[in-house]
């Protein structure tokens, strides 16, 4: 065997070792990233919004934020998967029922804006494919029948558990202040 062929033989062995080392390094990086949370292979905007407050102005800002997020995703040609979870006082935005006699009863500020807010929510559900969830614990506490909910709202056993599940699945958590 010549010195040159011996050199090439060592080069091939070194190249194989380098490829193995790079493969192990990439696998370790992927494992570390997955340990921090779910790693998605695409650029989907995954967001969960949390509404547990009674203020119609703050709720309006939430709807505006959702719309802005989706507009940005559209401009960047990115897909989105947006969830809105209504818990506690958020039930006020899921029905036309005044919820009289409950801790969630409608007030004048909500009554004045209910039609507008309902229309904006329905557009987000129907046109923008936003998934809206209402905590069934809250619905039961308020004594609200399911048939009084706006169309397209899904009941979930626990709103906070739904939020936790989505966060565990890699969704960003947003709550408008």
Q: Binning pLDDT at 50, 70 and 90, where does residue 72 land?
A: very high
pLDDT of residue 32: 46
pLDDT at 27: 45
Q: Find the helix or strand (DSSP H, E) in which 86 lies.
A: strand 80-86
* Average pLDDT value for residue range 7-34: 50
CB atoms within 10 A of CB 166: 21
Residues 16 and 87 in one domain: no
User: Could you tell me if 46 and 171 are in contact, meaning their C-beta atoms sit under 8 angstroms apart?
Assistant: yes
* Count of beta carbons in the 10 Å neighbourhood of residue 48: 23
Q: Tell whether 102 and 16 lie within a shared domain.
A: no
% of the chain with per-residue pLDDT over 90: 76
For residue 12, what are the domain limits? 1-36
- The verdict on 21 and 80 lying in the same domain is no
Residue 40 reports pLDDT greater than 80: no
30 plus 53 within the same structural domain: no
107 and 157, same domain (yes or no): yes
Average pLDDT (166-170) is 97
Whether residues 4 and 59 fall in one domain: no
Q: What pLDDT is stored for residue 42 in this prediction?
A: 81
pTM of the complete model: 0.77
Per-residue pLDDT at 1 exceeds 90: no
DSSP 13-74: HHHHHHHHHHHHHHHHHHHHHHHHSPPPSS--EEEEEEE----HHHHHHHHHHHHHHHHHHH
Do 83 and 143 lie in one domain? The reply is yes
Whole-angstrom CA distances from 93 to 20, 49, 135, 139 are: 56, 14, 12, 12
137 and 65 belong to one structural domain:
yes
Same domain, 125 and 155: yes
Per-residue pLDDT reduced to its tens digit, 96-149? 999 999 999 999 999 999 999 999 999 999 999 999 999 999 999 999 999 999
Gyration radius of the chain's alpha carbons: 25
Q: Is residue 9 predicted with pLDDT exceeding 80?
A: no
Q: How far apart are CA 160 and CA 73, in angstroms?
A: 26
């Amino acid at each position: 065997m010549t010195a040159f062929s011996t050199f090439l033989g060592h080069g091939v062995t070194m190249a194989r070792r380098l490829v193995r080392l790079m493969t192990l390094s990439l696998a370790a990086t992927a494992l570390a990233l997955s340990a921090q949370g779910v790693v998605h292979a695409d650029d989907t905007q995954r967001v969960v919004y949390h509404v547990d407050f009674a203020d119609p102005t703050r709720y309006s800002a939430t709807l505006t934020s959702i719309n802005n997020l989706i507009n940005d995703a559209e401009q960047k040609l990115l897909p989105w998967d947006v969830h809105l979870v209504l818990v506690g006082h958020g039930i006020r935005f899921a029905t036309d029922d005044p919820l009289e006699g409950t801790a969630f009863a409608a007030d004048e500020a909500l009554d004045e804006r209910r039609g507008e807010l309902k229309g904006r929510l329905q557009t987000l559900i129907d046109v923008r494919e936003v998934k809206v969830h209402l905590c069934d614990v809250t619905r039961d506490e308020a004594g609200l029948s399911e048939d009084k909910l706006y169309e397209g709202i899904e009941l979930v056993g626990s709103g906070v558990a739904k939020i936790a599940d989505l966060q565990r699945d890699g969704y960003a958590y947003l709550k408008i202040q």
